[in-house]
Amino acid sequence: MIEKLSANPLFAGISKGELSHLINQVTVQKRTFEKKQLIAQSDEACDHLLMILKGSVRGDMIDFSGKTIKIEDIEAPSPVGSAFLFGEKRAFPVNIVANENVEILMIPRYSVVKMFQLNQKFLENFLNMISTRAQFLSMKIRFLSFKTIKGKIAQYLLGQAGPFQKTITLTRSQQSLADLFGVTRPSLARAMGALHKEGVIHLNRKEITLLQRDKLNQLLNEHTSKT
């Protein structure tokens, strides 16, 4: 178990010996769930930090029509519920369902607090993780305010390039960008290809050259556009 936990980003920079000592100081419970089994329900109290030791889970939500929408997949050794363990409303925002047979280490909230007190690096990792998540969601909300995919792309490219840089190298994958923009990967690829074809940008794998900054700025104010 310690071997699997050591790969978890919450324990980065903590030796296996330190990690073993830390886990032994608190109450934890290891549980297994079968494929498609419900692990946590939407609005259920989030009183445990879930550490995926094996397999993967997904976050599902049900829309007003009763259709199930997959929000994201979370694979071992990632944690689940870290952003909802503290705060005024400590509840899961979505259903957590096993994609396959999974093993999960469940750490009660009071044990997580004790781990903060026992190991400063664990506390730092936890704060970094939820802060990064909050920053990602903040960026996503900003991109969702743009009506067109091209507008989202223009906002991102101009932000990455700043006022003077002409060529940038993408550090995110195309799927990561699609998730950030709230669009599908094929839709993003089509929009990027269209901007390349129109001569607004030049694509060379992960390297993008901004050819027409004025056109990119115009896209920020457009409400409808073919992509």
Residues 80 and 101 in one domain: yes
How many domains does the chain contain in total? 2
pLDDT of residue 148: 87
In this prediction, residue 155 carries a pLDDT of 87
Task: Give the pTM.
Answer: 0.67
Q: Are residues 105 and 167 in the same domain?
A: no
The pLDDT score that the predictor gives to residue 163 is 82
Choose one of 108, 140, 172: the last residue of a domain. 140
- Clarify whether residues 128 and 188 are in a common domain: no
* pLDDT value, residue 177: 86
151 and 136 co-located in one domain: no
Q: Please tell me whether residue 187 adopts helix, strand or coil conformation.
A: helix
Q: What is the pLDDT of residue 16?
A: 94
Long-range contacts of 206-214 (CB under 8 A, 24+ apart): 206/169, 206/170, 207/167, 207/168, 207/169, 207/170, 208/157, 208/167, 208/168, 208/169, 208/170, 209/166, 209/167, 210/157, 210/158, 210/161, 210/166, 210/167, 210/168, 213/158
The CA distance from 110 to 20, in Å, is 18
CB proximity list for 23: less than 8 A, separation 6 or greater = 1, 2, 5
| Total Cβ atoms within 10 A of residue 25 | 13
* CATH code (residue 158): 1.10.10.10
Residue 56 contacts residue 100 (beta carbons within 8 Å): yes
Judge if 35 and 119 occupy the same domain. yes
pLDDT score, position 109: 96
The token pair that represents 74 in the structure block: 């979370």
Name which of 26, 63, 56 is nearest 39 in CA terms: 56
- Domain range for 150 is 146-219
Last residue of a domain, one of 140, 172, 199: 140
Q: What is the pLDDT of residue 172?
A: 85
pLDDT at 213 (0 to 100): 92
Residues 154 and 196 in one domain: yes
Residues 6 and 81 in one domain: yes
State the pLDDT at residue 65: 66
Q: What CATH number has the domain bearing residue 22?
A: 2.60.120.10
Q: Which of 145, 96, 122 is nearest to 19 (CA)?
A: 122
pLDDT tens for the 227 residues of the chain, in order: 899 999 999 999 999 999 999 999 999 999 999 999 999 999 999 999 999 999 999 988 776 666 676 677 889 999 998 989 998 889 998 899 999 999 999 999 999 999 999 999 999 999 999 998 787 777 777 776 677 899 889 988 988 898 889 999 998 888 888 877 878 899 999 999 999 999 999 999 899 999 999 999 898 876 444 44
In a shared domain, residues 65 and 156: no
